[in-house]
Structure 1
Amino acid sequence: MYTLITVLIFIVCVLLILIVLVQNSKGGGLASNFQSTNQVMGVRKTNDFLEKATWYLAAALLILSIAGSAFIPHGAETVNESAIRSQVEQAVDPNAVPNFPIAAPEATTAQPDSAN
């Protein structure tokens, strides 16, 4: 389900980018190509359509983002958490003093036989 919502979010983002790029900040954009007033979808209707499409896509992006956060898979996090926890529990304390032998073993040195 999370993958489906992620793909839908991606599609909505691409459509929103395209709709915003088609618009012109001064009211031109795609509507500027329609100079004749007797067309079915004139300048005013094109601007209305682009503005409504922008708002609907923004609302869809918001809703899909909230829905996507509800479906985030949490199973992988518990596996990683337990692996990290076991590494922390098995870690060696760097402040621990190592156990050295108290007395050094006696060294026996071999003396060569001297011929007198």
Structure 2
Amino acid sequence: MTNISITIFSLFIIVTCILFILVILIQNPKKESINQYFMEKNFRFFGIKRTNTFLENITWFLSIVIFFLIFIFNFLLKTK
């Protein structure tokens, strides 16, 4: 039973880390650059401020989820 739960938690950690990386890469940089010009055209309909706030909230949420998944994973490894 513990081997299956360790495998499941390790997969959850991997998927969460991949989502975390993608969310960070999508975020709008704070400094002005050529990319910002293209981002403004693409996100004109959504509103850049709302998109950045939403992505920042997702970043915090995913980091907290990773933190707790790693604690649970370590607990499962110690009980094995």
Structure 2: tracts of 5 or more residues without a match? none
Q: Which of 7, 17, 23 is matched with 1:3 structurally?
A: 7
Task: Tell me how many residue pairs correspond in the alignment.
Answer: 70
Instruction: Using structure 1 for the length normalisation, give the TM-score.
Output: 0.53
Q: Which of 68, 71, 87 is matched with 2:73 structurally?
A: 68
Instruction: Using structure 2 for the length normalisation, give the TM-score.
Output: 0.75
Structure 1: tracts of 5 or more residues without a match? 76-116
RMSD: 2.1
The runs of 4+ residues in structure 1 deviating greater than 3 Å are none
Equivalent residues of 1:2, 1:73 under 8 A apart: no
Kindly provide the amino acid, as one letter, of the partner of residue 21 in structure 1.
L
Equivalent residues of 1:31, 1:42 under 8 A apart: no
- Greater RCO (Cα-Cα under 8 Å, separation 6 or more): 2
Write the distance in 2 (CA, Å) between the matches of 1:31 and 1:56: 24
Q: 1:61 to 1:31 in 2, by over 3 A?
A: farther
